Structure 1
């Protein structure tokens, strides 16, 4: 139900800008938080994509002194009328986020997701992952990142797939494969071992396999997984046609997720179903790798996830709902400002 205690002076809906560079993983975070706020109060969400011309794209934030002049032609304009709430994530948004208080004359609540690595006082609220260890009076630490997963959305997204799923019987095992990143990789040897473990688990349970492979999955690893598992009953998605990701999450009895993706692990944990973490190759002892380890420890402590050891054990926990907690924090900040003004 909308929160009727939150009013806008003009009687209009809240305007929320969800700002990113348009990459799916980043955009889902800002949209997820915006939509969670929309579920709590009357609001209108506007998506904004900020993209810089190639010459300026890799410049550090402190050198982007005139960010409006550096944008690509296909970048969305950033100008008045300003929103009530600015929700942004990613390096590309920082030059504008840092200036938003001044540009809007303090009328816009400025919310930045992730660790901005900049002056925290420039933001009204920073919502950062616990494993980033960002500290400040205006910082909310959450487990993982905001996302767009809700039970209602999963049920809605499953409907177009319902007829196809009638050909299969449970239990259903969803396997979400990531790929190469700064901290992780998926070698041929690791893919072979992973495929063998998944195959044994599916066959032992007499289950149906729901496998999705990301664009980041190395081609060799993708081919190994597909060839090793394609004879099992189920659906394998490699990027062609409609994406069954949400249908998989809805139908799954168990969810296996590679350890390289915080977003996928948190989305899986939002279902309340057992989340099994698939280990990958470590590229180095990078700081980012240690942060992934810290995240997975916290997710295990919460009770949502366990390392995959080849067995499909079952357990229960309260579905992780950090996005709703973040939305409540944003609304509380907005109410506080309205009361003090």
Structure 2
């Protein structure tokens, strides 16, 4: 029998969608993304103040309309009131991250400890939810290990984010990042594979390529199959930029050492998350050298999904 469907409600940001999809998959549901866009004049107000949230948004499929799903999983400020509105129509509703509204409007809220929210129906995790399950990584390892066979070992995967409201990764910063990675290649004789994200600017990608490709590094050109899960599964170490809790959470779900690459900027919430990972010995700050130490994968997604399933009676 096919798995029951679940609407995944986000604004289309990759990090948010991956968290909600990861939860849906862990619940044994089939995720159906609904990427929300607020309509005028609704987007002038915070979503929690919308009088009729379902009328305030549209999607790539058109307006939200019946038949409603059995479960809705939201992530993001726009999606939260929409998910709560679906609950009032009999849909089981779960929000991921801090909803910026009363958690009692949902059947369950799953939030990381650095989100700073508690309550009777709040499930607190150490890291963000994600899709980097042991089964997915094992399949990726079998598929991608031969594709990486030509690269020197130890192989270091570099997961690159981009400029957002808290951190900066432009051409100048990209050149600095490239220089630090080049130093590791030259001193520690590592192989390097860099995978940018949709948020990585062209100037930053160009700076990375200009410095690292002549040294033998490979950089994904954003064409064809994404090597992301293959790198999580096959690398001997991972370097990840500090701008994305989602990418850092996926990296620490691997079984290899993880280094956090600092960017100019500041976020109290993300800073607390990184400090926790450092205290627990799961990550270290990247200082331009490869180190090794014993690690254990950190992944709270299965436990969170089990608790959501219990509360929703799935």
TM-score (norm 1): 0.83
CA distance 1:220–1:98, shift in 2 (3 Å): same
Shift of 1:174: 0.5
Which ranges of structure 2 fall in alignment gaps of 5 or more residues? none
Structure 1 residues 167 and 55, CA gap change in structure 2 (3 angstroms): same
Q: Does 1:305 align with 2:283?
A: yes
Aligned with residue 27 of structure 1, among 17, 42, 51: 17
**Alignment correspondent of 2:74:** 88
Give the unaligned 5+ runs of structure 1: 1-10
Task: Please tell me whether the aligned partners of residues 272 and 304 of structure 1 are also in contact (alpha carbons under 8 angstroms).
Answer: no
Matches within 5 A, 1:29-44: 29-38=19-28, 43-44=29-30
- 1:256 touches 1:277 (CA, 8 Å); kept in 2? yes
Instruction: Give the alignment partner of residue 59 of structure 1, picking from 35, 40, 45.
Output: 45
Match of 1:8 in 2: none
| 1:101 aligned onto 2:101 | no
The 8 Å contact of residues 214 and 238 in structure 1, kept in 2 or not, is answered as: no
1:7 equivalent in structure 2: none
Quote the residue 2:264 is aligned against.
281
1:181 equivalent to 2:164? Answer yes
Give the aligned partner of residue 215 of structure 2: 232
Which secondary structure state, in structure 2, belongs to the residue aligned with residue 332 of structure 1? helix
Q: Which residue of 2 aligns with 1:292?
A: 270
Q: Is the 8 A contact 2:154 2:191 kept in 1?
A: yes
Offset, 1:124: 1.6
Counterpart among 137, 140, 144 of residue 127 in structure 2: 144
Find out whether 1:129 has 2:130 as its counterpart.
no
What CA distance in whole angstroms lies between the structure 2 residues aligned with 1:168 and 1:103? 54
Q: Tell me the distance in 2 between the aligned counterparts of 1:157 and 1:180.
A: 28
The answer to whether the 8 A contact 2:185-2:191 is kept is yes
Q: Which residue of 2 aligns with 1:69?
A: 55
2-side partners of 1:12 and 1:154: how far apart?
23
Residue 103 of structure 1: CA displacement? 1.2
CA distance in 2, matches of 1:190, 1:12: 47
User: Per the alignment, do residues 87 and 76 of structure 1 end up closer, same or farther by CA in structure 2, a change over 3 Å counting?
Assistant: farther
In the TM superposition, residue 271 of structure 1 has moved relative to its aligned partner by 0.4
Give TM-score, length-normalised by structure 2: 0.90
Partner Cα distance (2:48, 2:286) in 1:
43
1:222 to 1:234, Cα distance in 2 relative to 1, 3 A: closer
Give, in angstroms, the shift of residue 77 of structure 1. Answer: 4.9
Q: How many residues matched?
A: 314
Per the alignment, in what secondary structure is the counterpart of residue 103 of structure 1?
Answer: coil
Deviation at 1:46, TM superposition (A): 3.4
